[in-house]
Amino acid sequence: MKNLSEPAAYSGVAPDRSRAETVTGPDGATLFRFQEILLHTQDLDWVDKTLEGLSHKPLWRNDDTGASISLVRFQQGSGIPSRHSHASNQFMFCLAGRYIYTATGLTLVKGSFYWNPKGSLHGPTYAVEESILLEVYDGPHYPTQPDWYTSTEDAR
């Protein structure tokens, strides 16, 4: 018995490993059907972003809406250099570390849950120690590419 998803445009480690069938969508786009998968994130490599000290493990992304789930890691002393906003809601759960929003003093530590509402200005940030966060967006990350990224892929 096959247990496959409806056709969709997903990317990230989980979809890349669970892609089961290729389907042509109604507009001619290539879509896929996926099977369930379990990832052991400790077995995945960190992928560096173009902002020094930031890397991630892209777990899942809806390529149609921009929604995504990633593990992000800020090395000690790194962070986001300026105030910015997002084009969707941003959710983060701190798995390890100490990560500060310097303008407000808001500090994420292990077990902290953070919600940044769509359009809310926040940052800059600073990792007092290496910080690992589960980061979820319910849509696209940014309204325009931030100047701290030199790659458009990093701003997705």
Question: CA 9: distance to chain centroid?
Answer: 16
Which pLDDT value is given to residue 133?
98
Mean pLDDT in each 10-residue stretch from start to end of the chain (156 residues)? 86 94 92 94 96 96 96 98 95 98 97 96 97 98 89 86
Give the position of tokens 């247990």.
3
Q: How far apart are CA 130 and CA 73, in angstroms?
A: 7
Which pLDDT value is given to residue 153?
87
Which pLDDT value is given to residue 144?
86
Domain residue spans in the chain?
1-39, 41-155
Which pLDDT value is given to residue 154?
84
Nearest to 90 by CA among 50, 38, 143: 143
Instruction: Tell me yes or no: is domain 41-155 CATH 3.20.20.100.
Output: no
Hey, which bits of 35-124 come out as E strands?
47-48, 54-62, 68-74, 90-101, 106-109, 113-116
